[in-house]
């Protein structure tokens, strides 16, 4: 069975929209794209290098796929393009888009059912990068094994947020570190239903 892990850049107030550049995603009038860039340092580069050590396949929502496909096929090996270009890209979309990036496959039918079938197959681990709507669908369906969050020390006040309607879940902290620029990197295992109690 294949493991499914996610990684997301998120602000302290939960925004995940357009972390990489001003024009990456301006939907909803968002004007603060590129908010991660001033904080990126050697430690965060090492974190992402470890996460993206091949082999892996990608699960991407349509918006994230379009952003990635506009950049990574033209990027250099030094920029980290090799593993992403070599991976099979499974794309969740409500339409039937043209997928021009090599090794791209449109997920047919119900997304959660399609991903559940992929997890049962032999193959490398499955990774979700960004793709907030897709990630929430997979979390609600109990298909995500690990969630990695890179929480940046910035309040954005607006923009698309990562968790808008998640199914309640306990998370178990597996690993954490902090970069010199103040970014907290936390890796969690998804650990079943929420436990409650009382101090009284």
Instruction: Give the pLDDT confidence of 21-37 residue by residue, as tens digits.
Output: 999 999 999 999 999 99
pLDDT(98) > 90: no
Q: Give CA–CA dist 155/152, Å, rounded.
A: 9
Find the mean pLDDT for residues 69-83.
Answer: 91
The first and second tokens of residue 175, run together, are 């690993």
Find the mean pLDDT for residues 101-106.
Answer: 96
| Confidence band of 54 (pLDDT split at 50, 70, 90) | confident
CATH 3.40.50.300 assigned to domain 4-190? The reply is no
The secondary structure of the chain, three-state, reads CCCEEEEEEEECCCECCCCCCCCCCCHHHCCCCCCCHHHCCHHHHHHHHHHCCCCEEEEEEHHHHHHHHCCHHHCCHHHCHHHHHHCCEEEECCCCCCCCCCCEEECCCCHHHHHHHHHHCCCCEEEEECCHHHHHHHHHCCCCCEEEEEEECCCCCCCCECCCCCCCCCEEEEEEEECCCCCEEEEEEECCCCCCCCCC
Q: Give CA–CA dist 11/171, Å, rounded.
A: 19
Whole-number pLDDT of residue 96 = 86
Whole-number pLDDT of residue 77 = 87
How many Å is the Cα radius of gyration of the chain? 17
pLDDT(166) > 80: no
């Amino acid at each position: 069975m294949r493991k499914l892990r996610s990684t997301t850049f998120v602000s302290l107030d939960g925004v995940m929209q357009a972390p990489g550049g001003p024009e990456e995603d301006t939907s909803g009038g968002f004007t603060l794209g590129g908010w991660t860039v001033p904080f990126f340092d050697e430690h965060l580069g090492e974190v992402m290098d470890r996460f993206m050590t091949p082999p892996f396949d990608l699960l991407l929502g349509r918006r994230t796929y379009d952003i990635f496909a506009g950049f990574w096929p033209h990027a250099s090996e030094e920029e980290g393009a090799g593993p992403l270009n070599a991976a099979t890209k499974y794309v969740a979309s409500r339409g039937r888009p043209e997928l021009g990036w090599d090794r791209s496959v449109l997920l047919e039918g119900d997304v959660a059912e399609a991903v559940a079938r992929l997890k049962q197959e032999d193959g490398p681990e499955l990774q979700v990068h960004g793709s907030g709507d897709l990630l929430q669908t997979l979390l609600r369906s109990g298909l995500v094994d690990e969630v990695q969050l890179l929480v940046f020390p910035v309040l954005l006040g607006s923009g698309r947020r990562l968790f808008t309607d998640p199914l309640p879940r306990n998370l178990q902290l597996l690993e954490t570190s902090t970069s010199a620029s103040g970014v907290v990197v936390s890796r969690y295992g998804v650990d079943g239903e929420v436990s409650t109690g009382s101090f009284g």
